[in-house]
Structure 1
């Protein structure tokens, strides 16, 4: 008598649809929320030019099953991932996506600064192995720093000659920008190219495109005006040429009449003036 072996019970890791994605705790301040939005917004316009990639903030990033067991959920203020399909996520689940973030930014506050600079930094270094990690205090812009993962250990990123922090993982840089965002004038942390050109927000990009369209329309109108001026000038030249031709014709006819009156034949006058004999004949009347 043969025995039927029971199939082993396999437990699959939970998916993002089954996992919590928000702890319900609001960000430290309105400026922290605006700073996060600015980083996501500008990184997002850059991703529009890329084939793939994802950026978000303040949602959980799941990087290990042990983390699930301990309910040690982590929600970076900003993170970006390259080389993954675009699209909405409820949370970032490493075992679903196949990789973790390429860059993480934490926004410091009096309540989180020590954790962001120590505990979270070690998690991003040792467990999540995030290639580039930055922090920035929206209310104290001098407190900013960046770290690049080298041989498994974070090494400080030295600001370049233009005082920008370069992210090797993204090929972009971070700079402190004095300006107005959503009506708040202060020093913001912004993404830029390696040459220092700011990545625009969606609103700035739309405004730039509108300005370019307006400029092109103005140029087209100016070209049309110039074309009309050229057409008018050409018409004036043609009119002047026609008037000169008419005067020359009259002078030639007057000359032909005088020659006829002097006794020359029609044939002689035609040969001398270049007029047809029929035209000269009409002048005799």
Structure 2
């Protein structure tokens, strides 16, 4: 009698996996990720349906080992998911969701992989809709969107910004940093920039109030001077025997 063996059920590693990414190459790389992450989180502060992370491992294979099957994008966004803290992104614990948007911050040691191997991975396996890369020193900036089964390069607008249909935001270089812009062309501010803008607004309002107060004081002084002038003239007329009230 032939004994039929049941099909082997793959064993997935536990979902509580820590991110296992190498440190960023330079402070400029770190600063870029902080800007992207904090500005998007601030801009979407009222949303609870996304997850954004930087330099975090994405586990998508059932094999729990650090190899070519484990890729940690420099920055990624997953949409239609719960906004909460995570140690890593574990695809099989997240309803099979992969990043909707990925941004790689190029360096001399990783640029060739980001342009070739990772691009193929994101296109063919992860099926990530929008993929961008940016070099913080050379300002090289490109973006791709998935059309059918292949990436198509995104055409820049008049400002050389690239549109992300997934984020409904532009990405563009501003002061040598890759930034988000609204459809109306406004810069998406970091919390620090928003605080600075608010302080500037308060300072401008204070200056406006001071100017208004000075204008009111000057008007009051002018009125007082005019009143004093009229009083002196009235007194002189009285001394001349002329009743000022009878002057028509």
TM-score scaled by length of structure 2: 0.76
- Higher Cα radius of gyration: 1
Residue 208 of structure 2: aligned partner: 219
Q: 1:85 to 1:226 in 2, by over 3 A?
A: farther
Q: Is 1:172–2:169 an aligned residue pair?
A: yes
Equivalent positions of 1:125-144 (< 5 A) are: 125-141=123-139, 143-144=140-141
Q: 1:230 to 1:94 in 2, by over 3 A?
A: farther
Could you tell me how far 1:103 is from its partner in structure 2?
Answer: 0.9
Residue 101 of structure 1: aligned partner: 99
Residue 114 of structure 2: aligned partner: 116
Residue 14 of structure 2: aligned partner: 14
Could you tell me how far 1:10 is from its partner in structure 2?
Answer: 11
SS at match of 2:62: helix
Equivalent positions of 1:153-192 (< 5 A) are: 153-177=150-174, 179=175, 187-192=176-181
Contact 2:12 2:63 in 1 (8 A): no
SS at match of 2:84: coil
Q: In angstroms, what is the RMSD of aligned CA positions?
A: 3.5
Structure 1 unmatched ranges of 5 or more: 1-8, 180-186, 255-285
* CA deviation string 1:65-96 (max 9, x = no partner): 43547753211101123333333221122343
Residue 5 of structure 2: aligned partner: none
Residue 39 of structure 2: aligned partner: 42
SS at match of 1:140: coil
Q: 1:232 to 1:97 in 2, by over 3 A?
A: farther
